[in-house]
Chain A
Amino acid sequence: MKSTGLAKAIATAVGLSLSGLVVAAEEQHETPLNMTQGVTNISADVYGLHMTIFYVCCVIGLAVFGVMFYSIFKHRKSKGAVAATFHHSTAVEIIWTTVPMVILIGMAIPAAKTLIEMEDSSESEMTIKVTGFQWKWHYEYMGEGVDFYSQLDAEHNAARQLDSGIDVNQYHWYLKEVDNELVVPVGKKIRFLHTAADVIHAWWVPDLALKKDAIPGFINENWTLINEPGVYRGKCAELCGRDHGFMPIVVRAVEQDEFDAWLAEQKGEGAELVVAESATGDEAVAAPVEQSMDELMARGSEVYAQQCVACHQAKGQGIPPVFPAITGSPVATGPVETHIDTVLNGKPGTAMTGFKGRLSDADIAAVITFQRNGLGNSVGDSVQASQLGGV
């Protein structure tokens, strides 16, 4: 038999995969092939545990496969090996039951220590409530009166549409950039409260070794203490529907004074600015008193493309039955009051969340106008920002 060749090939394949692993382990500083060490004590501990268990597996693997491949080489018929007849040895069996047990207990102890530490969110110095929405995050600095939404950067959002024709390779942080970053101070124990508005999401930032499910109707706690200033990127890590892949997280950790200044700015200008920014980027301007139909339609189509397409789709066709079409919708072609109410306050219990406070009045007016007169609808009326208060 030509089994020598075979054996060699097996050996090479296995050798390659094992050495691949080891190389990956050594190179963790330069290449993104391994887990990050992160920027908190916990994340460093987690990294340590990861590497320890990995090396344990490597050693056991080498021993086990070493014996196996030795046997495959030596004890083959083509080499004239004659089969022995033993089939039992209590001593050996006791050894190979107890040794792994001991190794595992040795592994479990440090793991338990880290775990206990991770779960202890007491004595935190500030609290941020993080709410998952389909498909954006809402951050609330508890007790500070500052809150805002954070979602995928508009440019990336355009690029990621099917057949967008935009080359995504130009964006270094493709799908990892948001409109409003979560700004936090370094050196402070921050407590996070996680929840969700619709379905389960998970807030994950690898550099902080934080991953916690955001469960609708429940609060989960988590904490971190960041050692180094920097920008740390993460993603939603629990399947939450169509655009689960497109709800990134960006945390900007800054020095305390910088954070204080940022927070003061947020408070000073009020939540409105943040809101306006989220919709229009830098050119947040107060709405003129009255806008022409053309202006409304132009602006409305922009807002629509940014805020509504995810669910109601580019041509307004929706994704029935879950996401209704806007084209021909009884709401979008019916009484304007219902329409305004739907957009301002949303439909409780569905993915349609209210946009009041998230978009400027002008933008809401514009997008409603656009929905009524674009996307195949032609109701004919226009909605002005001033009308919204009346509803």
Chain B
Amino acid sequence: MSATTGYYVPHDAKWSIVGSVGLFIFFIGMALLVNGGSSLTMFAGMAVVIYMMFGWFGMVVRESESGIYKAQEDLSFRMSMAWFIFSEVMFFAAFFGALFYARTFSGPWLGDIGSATNTVLYSHFDYVWPNNGPGNLGGDYLQMGWFGLPLINTLLLLTSGVTCTMAHHAIQKGHRETMVKWLLATVILGFVFVACQGFEYYEAYHHNNLKMTTGIYGSTFFMLTGFHGFHVCMGAIILTVVMIRGHKGHFTADNHFAFEAAAWYWHFVDVVWLGLFLFVYIL
């Protein structure tokens, strides 16, 4: 706990109103879109949210650079980022939980000889993982192996974790330009990962006939990797912003919270991937 003298309490919050309106339009747009409407509203909302982010973050960056934030403000930011990442972990936990449940409980109930469900309803169905259920939903498909692209992806992300840490060491020593270089490597690795993932999806759809609609396997596979991929994109964008700021001369050896927040996020995305690699691909 630190002293509260002179904690910075801003008194305007115009951007958050823009943000609320943006989310409002965005989510209405999403709802219209999934119901078969046009995507226009959704993009409009997204534009407003992005505008808000530029405005809001820009404001925070300026405040930070003008030296308003002291140790206590800094700690507030750190705590918030840590708890935010915790909330993201729990979001993924829901999907990992679904995977676990389908593999440990519902799958065997449906497909193991001896279960009443199997005997009465699906005597033709044998449980193995992966599967697309007794209805063979989505038709026959091929499983995604772990050896090829996924392994490369794992190495990419692990390496990016290392480069990210190198960047951190650099800025801790005050070497801003070195930090930018390591960050650039991280971001490139991140985007290569996303590209590989895109290619893998292409393979899945066109060669393996593995789709979102391929029963529980397709569902868990695409939702887990999909949300992860989305997070990688976000992380890479955040790192890019940090990199640009570093290039502009922001951050010092003892004031670089934005960098650290981005790095935490990146490591989180990294760890989630390891979970994915293990539970979705290997096991």
Contacts and interface: CB of A to CB of B under 8 A. Distances in A.
B116 interface: yes
Given A217-B110, A218-B106, A219-B116, 10 more contacts: A129-B120, A193-B120, A195-B120, A217-B117, A217-B121, A217-B134, A218-B109, A218-B121, A219-B119, A221-B116
Contacts of A221: 116
Interface in B116-135: 116-117, 119-121, 134
A319 B134 CA distance: 32
Interface residues of B, number: 9
Nearest to B133: A217
A193 B121 CA distance: 11
A110 to B, nearest CB: 28
Interface of A: 129, 193, 195, 217-221
- Max count, chain B CB within 10 A of own CB: residue among A217, A220, A221: A217
Contacts of B116: 193, 219-221
A193 B116 CA distance: 8
Looking at chain B's contact residues, the main secondary structure is: helix
21 contacts: A129-B120, A193-B116, A193-B120, A195-B120, A195-B121, A217-B110, A217-B117, A217-B121, A217-B134, A218-B106, A218-B109, A218-B110, A218-B117, A218-B121, A219-B116, A219-B117, A219-B119, A219-B120, A219-B121, A220-B116, A221-B116
A54 to B, nearest CB: 34
Looking at chain A's contact residues, the main secondary structure is: strand
Contacts of A220: 116
Nearest to A121: B116
Contacts of A217: 110, 117, 121, 134
- Max count, chain A CB within 10 A of own CB: residue among B109, B116, B134: B116
B108 to A, nearest CB: 12
A218 B109 CA distance: 8
Contacts of B134: 217
- Max count, chain A CB within 10 A of own CB: residue among B109, B120, B134: B120
A217 B102 CA distance: 14
A52 to B, nearest CB: 32
Contacts of B117: 217-219
A130 to B, nearest CB: 12
Contacts of A129: 120
A217 B110 CA distance: 8
A129 B117 CA distance: 12
Contacts of B106: 218
In order of increasing CB-CB distance, the 4 nearest A-B pairs are A219-B117, A219-B116, A218-B117, A219-B120
Nearest to B35: A321
